Copies of this chain bind each other. A is one copy, B any other.
Amino acid sequence: MAVNQITATALVEQLGGQLRGSDVIVTRITSLQQAQANDISFLSNPRLRAEALASKAGVLIVTEKSAEVLTDRTLIVTDDPYLYFAQVARLFHPRIQAKAFIHPSAVVAPSAKIAASCEIGAHVVIGDRCIIGENTRILAGAVIEDDCTVGSDCVIHANVTIYHGCILGNRVELHSGCVIGADGFGFAWDKQKNEWFKIVQTGCVILGDDVEIGANTTIDRGAIENTIIENDAKIDNQVMIGHNGKIGAHVAIVACTGIAGSTEVGAYSVIGGAAMIGGHLHIPPKTTIGAATAVSHSIKESGYYASIFPLQKHSDWVKNAAHIRHLHEMSQKIKALEHQLAELNGNSSNQQD
């Protein structure tokens, strides 16, 4: 049940943290700027202290350090204000419960096993032999092809497509327009016929528990083995994961990132957005790949990597970019200068002797 209002005292009872100042009834979570007397907000980034000072929020969630400068306020002091805020927000906006209900316009194969608590929306299509777990919600227009398994407490949003034979864990959330299990991009060139010959893609996609996949993201099925997204990986919108990819547990992939086939991203890594990672590569656990970064070889050591061309006024870019094409010559000129100067120094030294 969603909370409509709660006292700061009740919040710390439920979620921990230390209450300072007088108790306040909280009716809304919001930003520092918009907050009013019965709102709760948070200060996580110390650079926003001025905004916190100016905020009319009835309750502020802060660290011990920030608390020092926010006297005369009702505060909840905690190690991680952002996480705490997220937990408060969840109280006000809990996960929507599945209505145990199959819309009459849904087309569900008789051989599919749909848990009684599931919610199956209008115009949903569920294929033969699918298994759908308890409390899972499948929203309007989603298509789940034959032989898929979907765990419990999942949300498959409207107009999602899951190709045949894919396997989803529990508490998976797939946003609208994402496509799970389309064919990987595999073709052999037939020299004799002078045309492409399709490699049938016989693997599937396996999504672990607590995976979230963004809108219009595509995760291709494996060519022979499977494409695997491990537990608690979070993937943003318009991401592309090629066939046979392995995305480790707790990895976060920001929007517009592409990861080519057979690449492995180690657990706890953070990728992108708009990063581009080549195929058959290995990214070690706990690696950070910067936004708009192109990764064309495996990374041996975890760390923070980047490769973007720095932004400039176009007129400066024109001047500077032209030299990129001649960096090798530039380097050769420097070598020549060093050589000439060394000779000259030799000569000069000789003259000074």
Contact = CB atoms under 8 A, between A and B. Distances in A.
Interface in A179-210: 179, 182-183, 185-191, 194-200, 202, 210
A101 interface: no
A246 interface: no
A64 interface: no
Interface stretch (A17-25, A66-74, A110-118, A251-259): A251-259
Nearest to A45: B280
Contact of A317 (B252, B307, B352): B307
A194 B78 CA distance: 17
A276 B158 CA distance: 27
Interface in A326-340: 326-328, 330-331, 333-334, 337-338, 340
B294 A216 contact: no
A169 interface: no
Nearest to A238: B240
Interface in A253-301: 254-256, 258, 260, 273-274, 276, 278, 288, 290-297, 299
Nearest to A199: B86
B182 A176 contact: yes
Nearest to A347: B348
B324 A327 contact: yes
Contacts of A210: 195-196
A188 B89 CA distance: 12
Given A143-B141, A175-B179, A197-B87, A330 B337 contact: no
Given A158-B161, A255-B240, A225 B34 contact: yes
Interface in A65-93: 79-80, 82-83, 85-87, 89-90, 92-93
A153 interface: no
Interface stretch (A6-14, A120-128, A129-137): A120-128
Given A224-B31, A323-B327, A273 B294 contact: no
Contacts of A220: 215, 237
Contacts of A147: none
A255 B256 CA distance: 11
A242 B214 CA distance: 11
A49 interface: no
B345 A188 contact: no
Contact of A179 (B79, B176, B236): B176
13 contacts: A34-B224, A80-B188, A90-B197, A122-B125, A177-B178, A187-B252, A195-B250, A198-B212, A295-B311, A307-B310, A307-B311, A320-B326, A337-B341
Interface of A: 29-31, 34, 79-80, 82-83, 85-87, 89-90, 92-93, 103, 105, 107, 121-123, 125, 139-141, 143, 145, 157-159, 161, 163, 173, 175-179, 182-183, 185-191, 194-200, 202, 210, 212, 214-216, 218, 220, 224-225, 232, 234, 236-238, 240, 242, 250, 252, 254-256, 258, 260, 273-274, 276, 278, 288, 290-297, 299, 303-328, 330-331, 333-334, 337-338, 340-341, 344-345, 347-348, 351-352
